[in-house]
Structure 1
């Protein structure tokens, strides 16, 4: 293996291991396998540790290398490296000019703590510029958690709908996790709408995303991928418990709420009820199971989010359904 390639690998491993927890045995095992795969790996890593001023890492590496040679289990310790003045130029020269900036990414993310973002029911779109330059727009009744990790940028969509304009970073892909669906992207504009725990819609304005259907295992403590799809410009995918569906819905509809409108192009009552509820004091509800059986109305309409109540009052004139108001909810019932 060329010396420059070994140095690049060592630099990547050093940057990665600064963010690996002590009890992450899987990552420590991967690191140990890399160390033992070639005699040149350990010296290159020790040199990298010295450049970054992590002298304890060098001592720890010596012990770890010895354990690898003996075929023993290495002691798993972790310590964050210390960035010293002048180091960046040295590392950039060592790794070929571009790796220095890539190595800084895991170091920079330490200044970006995990944050909770929420937008209340009935509120207009809320725009957030994330530290990496990506743009996150929250719809009404939406709650997310943003995490910056060593190998990815993660947004957990707990409820509601959000739109994303992602800055490309091949070293750390952008991931949106809504339990039922997991969306991975390098750079694009797309929206994720969590209608329920079992129904998530992904709409791509432009770019390319990978959507994976996730299924709970071990009582919900672990989620595994069961299948995936690749989406590009203008495509819309619904991920449900039964798999993926391609609704006849323009991708542009998924972004209308950013301008204070909701667009329904053949929406089921269930889908419409979820979106309307984000702007009303009482929840809007539809009978369960109406969304796929084809026996209930499909709604085509445009409504301003500030005018939901008036829209509900006129809805029976648009479709064969009844709007019934109760103390607890507004019900949309097929006639």
Structure 2
């Protein structure tokens, strides 16, 4: 086991105990079992104290506009560093960095987005963008694009999130969307591209597109009503259902045999807070249904209820998802 193994295991166990104790705070048997675990090692005790500290910080944080999160998190990190003795700082850093990363990834645009993007949106915000060539982009919530091009081609990089493209035909200048290792090329069409932590989804509403991920040896041509998902591990899955293409434009999450992890990733962009999955095994469960993006917390609870997961609100802005 590597050096971080015991720490990570203790942190996972501390999170499980936190959830259990919040659910049954008056259960004496549960409390006794917890104390046995806590006293079993100094690492368990130290990680538990750090977990409590992170939770207390979380409870004290008021809801904030997404643009304020990078500055706020930096100030909290500096404050915590100044107060924490060096001998315990590695524990606080382990959990504090994890919490900060979860917040930064699920609450507001990342620093990388701000550096690379020409256009970006905040939580639950949709924006129409007109490009110089006459094409249009509808940017989904918490998403970002960078626009570039040459005399021979037009190019948009999807830095994060999701966007729907309506491309003005120009055979002399193909239109390309770059999303990580995946390149989508068109002449004139209407299509959707989504990039999340696991891969890239492309769906076509009108016309046809060519989708290529050369590092995986993938090259596919899609017609109207067809879609493809290319995961960053090389796995490829095609589907055919026009209802799922950019359903977010109508305020809907349409899931058709979608992984629970992918569904959560989409809901995060519409939720003004952090959604944290405490049990990674939940992510592979399959979700089918239509959910309201205007109420992402209720949508998340409906998904959890149908698929053996429980959603708990631990602060005014943080939701935890765990197995029942």
TM-score, L = length of structure 1: 0.56
Matched, 1:156 2:157: yes
Task: In structure 1, list runs of 5 or more residues that go unmatched.
Answer: 1-113, 216-224
Query: What corresponds to 1:180 in structure 2?
Result: 181
Shift in alpha-carbon separation, 1:249–1:318, aligned structure 2, 3 A: farther
Contact 1:119–1:140 (CA under 8 A) maintained in structure 2: yes
Partner deviation per Cα, 1:193-229 (whole Å, 9 max, x = no partner): 1022x400011112111111144xxxxxxxxx74311
Mapping of residues 96-115 of structure 1, within 5 Å = none
Partner deviation per Cα, 1:22-62 (whole Å, 9 max, x = no partner): xxxxxxxxxxxxxxxxxxxxxxxxxxxxxxxxxxxxxxxxx
Matched, 1:322 2:310: yes
Q: CA deviation at 1:272?
A: 0.6
Q: 2-side partners of 1:214 and 1:284: how far apart? A: 33
Query: What corresponds to 2:257 in structure 1?
Result: 266
Query: What corresponds to 1:246 in structure 2?
Result: 237
Q: CA deviation at 1:192?
A: 0.4
Q: Secondary structure at the match of 1:120?
A: coil
Q: 1-side partners of 2:212 and 2:301: how far apart? A: 39
Q: CA deviation at 1:288?
A: 4.2
Shift in alpha-carbon separation, 1:291–1:320, aligned structure 2, 3 A: closer
Matched, 1:304 2:292: yes
Q: 2-side partners of 1:277 and 1:199: how far apart? A: 16
Q: 2-side partners of 1:281 and 1:309: how far apart? A: 10
Query: What corresponds to 2:272 in structure 1?
Result: 281
Contact 2:267–2:300 (CA under 8 A) maintained in structure 1: no
Return the structure number with greater helix share.
2
Q: CA deviation at 1:329?
A: 4.2
Q: Secondary structure at the match of 1:252?
A: helix
Q: 1-side partners of 2:302 and 2:260: how far apart? A: 15
Q: 1-side partners of 2:238 and 2:218: how far apart? A: 18
Query: What corresponds to 1:72 in structure 2?
Result: none
**Number of residue pairs matched by the alignment:** 207
Larger RCO: 1 or 2 (CA < 8 Å, sep 6+) = 2
Q: CA deviation at 1:234?
A: 1.2
Partner deviation per Cα, 1:80-126 (whole Å, 9 max, x = no partner): xxxxxxxxxxxxxxxxxxxxxxxxxxxxxxxxxx9701111121x21
Q: CA deviation at 1:135?
A: 1.5
Over aligned residues, Cα RMSD in angstroms? 2.4
2:120 to 118, 121, 124: 118
Contact 2:193–2:202 (CA under 8 A) maintained in structure 1: yes
Mapping of residues 3-152 of structure 1, within 5 Å = 116-123=118-125, 125-152=126-153
Shift in alpha-carbon separation, 1:284–1:136, aligned structure 2, 3 A: same
Mapping of residues 205-220 of structure 1, within 5 Å = 205-215=205-215
Q: Secondary structure at the match of 1:299?
A: strand
Contact 2:282–2:309 (CA under 8 A) maintained in structure 1: no
